[in-house]
Amino acid sequence: MGKEQQTAPKMKSLYWALKLLDYYDSTHPLLGITELAELSGQLKSSVSNAMATLELLGYVRKYHDTGKYILGHRILSLYNVYRLNNDFADRLIGCAREVCAEVGEIVRVGTMIRNEIMLICSETPMAGMYHTVYDVRLPVHCTALGKALLSNSAETTIDRALAGELKSYTERTVTDADAIKRELQEIRKRGYAVEDMEFEYGVSAVAVPVGLIFQDQENKRGAPPTNERYSMDICAPSLRLTPEKMEQYAGVILKHLKKLQQD
């Protein structure tokens, strides 16, 4: 994915301390000082001091038998506050579940955090039950979710996301920024983005940009209006997800999104 470009932080010590939390994800829930120092490029002593401070505030918790840290209760507390102030995201997850029930395939919703896609849900049909998966991060340049989001983004956002060397995951991954920008133009005309084994062999997807969402100012919790960009995709084995099926599934997503807007 593109290298992140950003303005210099005004408080470098705070920036680097909070940046340590970015290295936690679903595949790295437990990290030690040495690992964090290698990932961040910071001195072990600096990382140790930062983690001790974060532990004091409840953002991480230390396993004293291993010396490694996991995320703490304060993260969950902040997440709950976020959910209270983001009613639309919950409604969008419900919409994804309805799409999943109709098509019988995996349905995901993502948003762009800096230069990667973070899933806010991944609904998987399993014997009539729906399993929600969180905290999965995907590249923006070679996934249907990412390209759908970029197609609905400002040029400055697109340039930032596609800057630097783009990683190739399969022989079908497009890594030329100009070629991706041309594809974004086609996505805007067509109304949906496609992914054909560009990120993972044997897996394809079709995604629709949800767009710029304004929360209702009359939100019953009194939350201020916020701007969020999302995209929703249907992901399936490539043999099942033919071009005709992609067009059909894009229509299914749009149908449910229109219903969501009317609710």
- Domain topology for 85-262: Beta-Lactamase (3.30.450)
Domain coordinates in residue numbering, the chain: 12-77, 85-262
Nearest partner of 260 among 84, 102, 134, 96, judged by Cα: 96
pTM of the entire predicted model: 0.75
Q: Which two tokens stand for residue 200?
A: 């993972």
CATH class of 12-77: mainly alpha
Which parts of 96-149 are beta strand (E)? 106-113, 116-126, 129-132, 137-139
Question: Is 85-262 in the same CATH topology as 12-77?
Answer: no
- Taking the C-alpha atoms of residue 153 and residue 211, their distance in angstroms, rounded to an integer, is 9
pLDDT tens for the 263 residues of the chain, in order: 444 445 678 888 999 999 999 898 877 889 999 999 999 999 999 999 999 999 999 999 999 889 999 999 998 888 777 777 777 778 888 999 999 999 999 999 998 887 889 888 889 887 555 555 555 789 999 999 999 999 999 899 999 999 999 999 999 999 999 999 999 999 999 999 999 999 999 999 999 998 644 344 334 444 444 456 899 999 999 999 999 999 999 999 999 998 888 77
